[in-house]
Chains A and B, each alone.
Chain A
Amino acid sequence: MSGALIYACAGAVLFVFGVTGLILLPHLLRKILAFNIMGSGVFLVLVGLGQRDGTPDPVPQAMVLTGIVVAVAATALALALVRRLLSLTGKIQFPEEPEGSGRCWKNK
């Protein structure tokens, strides 16, 4: 097992941590953090698998570079949405769905 594969496996572990956190944690900031950890895991898998032959592959590296910047932007957008939710409902959680209605919350 080469060093590159250790990175890729660590990436898989991070990804799974992220998935679990995204599903289990109710607080939205934690969900965003979990989402970022998931993304970092994917990047690590890509870079790790890209250099398992010993020479780094520039194509996955360029894709990861693109991905990191997009992830930063997506995180900022998610934070902005969370903030909007906070100012609308006063909570940083998804509202509980009431029984028998298809809507999450009523419009004011």
Chain B
Amino acid sequence: MRNLLNVLVIVLSAALGLVLIGVILESPSPARVRLPEEVLMQIGASGVTHPVTAVLLNFRGYDTLLEVMVLLLALLGVLAQMGKQKRENPPAGFYLTEPRMQVLLWLARVLVPLMVLVAGYLLWAGGHQPGGAFQAGAVLAAAGVLLNLSGLLPSWMEPAWNLRAGLVSGLLVFLLIAAAVMMTASPGLLLQYPPASAGMLILLVETGLTLSLGLILAGLFLFLSGDAIDDEADK
């Protein structure tokens, strides 16, 4: 019975795949709405010269705003699953005395400052070429994970006030700028930057987002990894 069901699932999935491929091959090119041309036409008013950044932070800025909220929500979910018991952090570098760890330590110490530099560059590059807050935040988060895995940074247990402030700072800056723009430049319209100052505002939003996304993404790893040490300590 179970085998029969499995076969049925596989057959139906294969049929779904064939239908999807058929639709992809048959679907006509959209003739009426040409989004790339629209974006390129309006890009002068967006404050940046790279189309993807213009879409992300200007034309569909509310998308990005909601995305940051989703990320925070996911982090809150992770925090809610961590359990109540609070333990002392394991001492940083608790297994670093072994000689074979020295290479990893050295590499982490060399790489992390470079990664912070790369994140800053990506943030700046987002205005005119591929890059931006998400990529920069991901690099920052990777630096945090590297520090944690090499034992230089203890896992996070309970966020203190400064960590909490960092986690929400990106969203707060974003909301603040959205509210300010809505009240002064374009009443009643969400995230309609005035073209003259759009570039500056986008850079401000992106700087806040980079910091906050880096912390959130790193937190998704560091809070969970802290829990693991907790579990092992229980056994």
A contact set with B: CB distance below 8 Å: 1, 5, 8-9, 12-13, 15-16, 19-20, 23-24, 45, 48-49, 52-53, 55-59, 61-63, 65-66, 68-70, 72-74, 76-77, 79-81, 83-84, 87
Contact = CB atoms under 8 A, between A and B. Distances in A.
Contact of B77 (A15, A52, A66, A77): A77
Given A19-B13, A56-B36, A59-B35, A84 B81 contact: yes
Chain A at the B interface: SS class: helix
A13 B134 contact: no
Contact of B56 (A19, A49, A65): A65
Contacts of B27: 49
Contacts, number: 116
Contact of B217 (A8, A16, A72): A72
Contacts of A65: 52, 56, 132, 134
Contact of A73 (B17, B21, B70, B81): B70
A63 B63 contact: yes
A79 B70 CA distance: 16
A16 B20 contact: yes
Contact of A15 (B20, B25, B52, B138): B20
Contacts of A80: 77-78, 81-82, 224, 227
16 contacts: A8-B24, A16-B13, A19-B16, A20-B9, A24-B10, A55-B36, A59-B60, A65-B134, A69-B138, A72-B220, A73-B74, A77-B74, A77-B78, A79-B224, A80-B227, A87-B231
Nearest to A64: B52
Given A62-B52, A66-B63, A66-B67, A76 B220 contact: yes
Interface of B: 6, 9-10, 13-14, 16-17, 20-21, 24-25, 27, 29, 35-36, 39, 51-52, 54-56, 60, 63-64, 67, 70-71, 74-75, 77-78, 81-83, 132, 134, 138, 213, 216-217, 220-221, 224, 227, 231
A68 B64 CA distance: 12
A81 B79 CA distance: 11
Contacts of A76: 74, 78, 220-221, 224
Contacts of A83: 81, 224, 227
